[in-house]
Amino acid sequence: MFGRNDFVENVKSALAAVDCDMGAFRSWQKMYDKLKKKKSEQEDRYRRCREQTKRVQEDAQLMEHMLTTAQSVDGKEFGRLLKDLRQMQNSFDHEFLVSKEDQEFHSTYDTILRLGTKALNAPDQKLLLQSEIENLLALLKENLEKEEPEIAALTFYYQFGSDQELAQLPPAEKLSKITYLYECEFRRPILQLLESGISGAGEQKHIYETATDRGSRKKYETLQIFFGAHPEHILEQMMEE
């Protein structure tokens, strides 16, 4: 069962104590709960796809080395590498690595598998295979050098969007899309609420800090989380919980 953390609940209480828009906070908290629940899943998926992509790169580098330096290629070892590539095919697609819709990459990958070990015995086919492997390595390098997405932004994006939408965009625009959505729809609303809450708490601090009655002391304790705080720092702590 996914539970809410104490820090977020303390922030919620402080916002309520200074009469902030709690309807807006509850709407944000629903998005927050979904994001926190799915974030590790998205992080694991990205890391897994990245590791698989690197493994493909390592296999392709070994194949290229065999084709360009060996007097004769060890067909058995080359076949093992091809089998490894075949088993990994389509298992590492990710819109911030190798897109499922990247026709150039997948066509090159398919050609290498199709040529297979048979190409080792025909000079022209062997040359073609070497060329395709070199192309694949260039594409792998390009994909692995893409800027990594912020996992929180990516997770939030999937509450509203899909891979199909991202697939239509160039890499830089994909990153801009998820970052803009995360900033405008997730971060900005809560930062505005926190700014209002911190301001309200600051205005009320002098009223309650010297009071001795139980109600005033409790109110002071509730507001303490906002005294001298900065909205960004509060949100950062909320996201770390």
Q: What count of other Cβ atoms lies within 10 Å of the Cβ of residue 59?
A: 19
**1 pLDDT band (50/70/90 cuts)?**
very low
Across 37-51, 83-97, 147-161, 201-215, least confident range: 201-215
How far apart CA 218 and CA 124 sit, in angstroms, is 83
Terminal-to-terminal C-alpha distance of the chain: 16
Amino acid, res. 61: Q
Name the residue among 207, 141, 150, 212 with its Cα closest to residue 182: 150
Contact 152, 241 (CB under 8 A): no
What pLDDT score does 166 carry?
Answer: 96
Q: How far apart are CA 44 and CA 219, in angstroms?
A: 42
Q: Is the pLDDT of residue 11 over 90?
A: yes
- Is 159:35 a contact under the CB 8 Å cutoff? yes
Q: Which tokens in the block code for residue 7?
A: 């820090």
As a whole-number percent, the residues of the chain with pLDDT over 70 amount to 98
- Mean pLDDT over 194-210 rounds to 94
What contacts 91, CB < 8 A, 6 or more positions away? 52
Lowest-pLDDT range of 49-58, 119-128, 153-162: 119-128
Radius of gyration of the chain (CA): 27
pLDDT at 211: 84
- Provide the token pair at 38: 């799915």
What's the confidence (pLDDT) of residue 4? Answer: 52
Say what the pLDDT of residue 2 is. Answer: 38
Amino acid at 129: L
Q: How far is CA 239 from CA 16, 37, 200, in A?
A: 20, 12, 23
pLDDT of residue 105: 98
Mean residue pLDDT of the chain comes to 94
